[in-house]
Amino acid sequence: MPTLRDIKRRIKAVHSTSKITKAMKMVAAAKFRKAQQRMLEMRPYADRMNLILSSLAPAAEAEIHPLLAVRPRRNVEVIVLTSDRGLCGAFNSNILKAASNHISNMKKDGFKVTTSVIGRKALDYLKRRKVSLRKSWVGISGRISYANAQEIAKDIIESYSSETVDEVILIYNEFKSVVAQKIVVSRLLPLAPIEATGEALPVFNFIYEPSKEDIFNNLLPKNVEIQIFRALLESQASEEAARMSAMENATKAANDMINALTLQFNKARQASITKELMDIVGGVEALKG
């Protein structure tokens, strides 16, 4: 049975942990507000740009730009986006589980799959499972810049243009709310066709200025950069929200443990006092006898 000193020492240790998790929650909340603002500003631009190009691409000739080429699916590149750090609940484990299932299903369907990762957690996870990685980018979480998206997009565009891969898929967490994130499997290349909805742009015989080639040469690579940058920002906001929730739950659990230990300490102290009183009463009775 633990002594009073042991219980008191444990209460102090849990109290220190509670202070740390509370501070981490406050830091995550500050980072989340900044990440959420950047993400919300990027969403409409990324959505509209992808909508416009996806609507225009079917009417354009594939010879104009390599990114317009649609080939039979044989070689598929899957990019998995996670964080570099942990302590964010199930944020990383959910995305890694979904990515593993998606890769396994594609291999069962007969596709040759290559894997690239963004984030140290995905890198460590797949390395432990002896998965061969084509490319990895780490050290991005917490300091995302457009240059990061440009670097990743350049590598993807080169692979697709050289016909090394026939399709590029990005798997990441999309921010929904502070307590909910949605796993998204997004096709980066070739451009996903727009379904016949009211949102799609009508196909006209457009007049291009300066020229169709110049427009697609500039906008198609730009769109890949924008979609990757948007995914990075979505993942960053989701990560900080998940970390904030995880630290709040950890703080609550620590406080509950402190209350339980305090009750145990009080009971043990009461038992100790009662025992001492009984010893004193017993000694007095012995002297009387």
Hey, which residues are catalytic here?
88
Cα gap 103→67, rounded to integer Å: 23
Our CA angle for 231, 235, 239, nearest 5°, is 175
H/E segment holding residue 93: helix 91-108
Map residue 44 onto helix, strand or coil.
helix
Residues 6+ apart with CB under 8 A from 168: 76, 77, 79, 156, 159, 160, 187, 188, 189
Q: Is 62 helix (H, G, I), strand (E, B) or coil?
A: helix
- Residues sharing a CB contact under 8 Å with residue 19, sequence separation 6 or more, in sequence order: none
Distance CA 274, CA 280 (A): 10
- From the list 239, 227, 65, the residue with the least C-alpha distance to 150 is 227
Strands lying side by side in the sheet with 75-81: 133-137, 112-118, 75-81, 167-177, 180-189
Contact by Cβ (8 Å): 174, 241: no
